Amino acid sequence: MSFYGLVDGSDSSLKKYLGGLSGVDQVGADARASMLATRSIKTTSKRWAIDTAISMVDLTTLEGADTPGKVQALCTKAVRPDPTDSTVPSVGAVCVYNDMVGIARKHLDLIGGSHVGVAAVSTAFPSGRASMPVKIQDTQDALDAGASEIDMVIDRGAFLSGDYITVFNEIVQIRELCGERAHLKVIFETGELVTYDNVRKASFLAMAAGADFIKTSTGKVAPAATAPVVLVMLEAVRDFYSMTQTRIGVKPAGGIRNTKDAIKQLVLVNETAGPEWLTPSLFRIGASALLNDLLMQRMKMDDGYYASPAYVTID
């Protein structure tokens, strides 16, 4: 593999590459993110943003209690989020554990949702604490069941102990496994990486290793997709594009629960990576409750009065 010519796969070249990254000033990044949060998105731009956000949702269920019935219901919602309004777009994908991938894929295809992807969380999600053969098998199962997107977690223990090459090699191996069959999203669990310097470093590491997307969190650890973390990752994909002419996607996940939060994310994308990233192929939002709030806001914009949860379907 060429790794964009940025590293040669050796530990030393990886260290040199990561060592050349500029630092991130936390206060400055926080200030920029909160300034962008003051953007006021109204009327036509709000309507556009809501539909765009809906199309970017990775509608997620990642619970021990998940059943085929629950997953099928989620798939139905993913394809037609508002059964009363056919102008509402489908979401980007459903996101499930690997044993639910086959059920999801089958149901989506059955109800005319073949355009909706199935993302499988992988590599011993959410902790990433398993041997590499187990992680590979985990991913292989999901691919075999028809996953079009693999959301792998990195080994945060290795990352925090400075063993970047292990993290790098794991991503490389999973990337190879995915081949042409699936997009690879690499989850950092930014709440465990803690510093923005680490987030920036992990972003560049994952991108060089072949990630198609970089993703903030598993949704199991707080804080998750905070605005400044997403800002730092968007800066990373923007800079990576100037270096390699390759656009890597970004997926915030966890903590984005309402329309206001989602629109803030789109503003971040628009003014950081740029409008080219405002597409489901380059920006996704991992969420569950968010979709209904987007739908309620959409109704409000159409009807002129506030909606009630009674008029949107529960998952």
> SS3 letters for the chain?
CCHHHCCCCCHHHHHHHHHCCCCCCHHHHHHHHHHHCCCCCCHHHHHHHHHHHHHHEEEECCCCCCCHHHHHHHHHHHHCCCCCCCCCCCCCEEEECHHHHHHHHHHHHHCCCCCCEEEEEECCCCCCCCCHHHHHHHHHHHHHCCCCEEEEECCHHHHHCCCHHHHHHHHHHHHHHHCCCCEEEEECCHHHHCCHHHHHHHHHHHHHHCCCEEECCCCCCCCCCCHHHHHHHHHHHHHHHHHHCCCCEEECECCCCCHHHHHHHHHHHHHHCCHHHCCCCCECEEECCHHHHHHHHHHHHHHCCCCCHHHCCCC
Residue 78 or 193 having the CB closest to another protein: 193
Segment 228 to 257, residues that bind another protein, using CB under 8 A: 232, 235, 242
Q: Which stretch binds another protein (CB under 8 A): 165-173, 189-197, 212-220, 283-291?
A: 189-197
Closer to another protein by CB, 271 or 315: give it.
271
Q: Which position among 9, 15, 37, 45 is part of the footprint of another protein (CB under 8 A)?
A: 45
Binding mask 252-271 for another protein (x = CB under 8 A): --------------xx--xx
Residues in 271-310 that interact with another protein by CB under 8 A: 271, 275, 278-279
Q: Is 15 a catalytic site residue? A: no
Structure tokens at 11: 């530990």
- Residue 25 bears catalytic tag: no
Contact by Cβ (8 Å): 235, 197: no
Candidates 82, 138, 151, 155; catalytic one: 151
Is 141 tagged catalytic?
A: no
How far out from the chain centre does Cα 122 lie?
A: 13
Q: How far apart are CA 288 and CA 280, in angstroms?
A: 16
What type of residue is 80?
Answer: R
Residue among 266 and 285 whose Cβ is closer to another protein: 266
Quick one: 39 or 300, whose CB is closer to another protein?
A: 39
Smallest distance, another protein to C-beta of residue 2, A: 24
Q: Which of 7, 49, 136, 153 binds another protein (CB under 8 A)?
A: 49
Residue 32 beta carbon to another protein: minimum distance, rounded to whole angstroms: 5
Given the residues 77, 135, 185, 251, the one annotated as active site: 251
Nearest distance from C-beta of residue 203 to another protein, angstroms: 12
CB of 243 to another protein, least distance (A): 11
Q: Does 42 bind another protein (CB under 8 A)?
A: yes
From 10-18, 39-47, 103-111, 286-294, give the range in contact with another protein by CB under 8 A.
39-47
Q: Quick one: 66 or 197, whose CB is closer to another protein?
A: 197
Contact positions toward another protein, by CB under 8 A? 22-32, 38-46, 48-49, 52, 194-197, 232, 235, 242, 266-267, 270-271, 275, 278-279
Residues annotated as catalytic (active site), given as ranges: 151, 215, 251
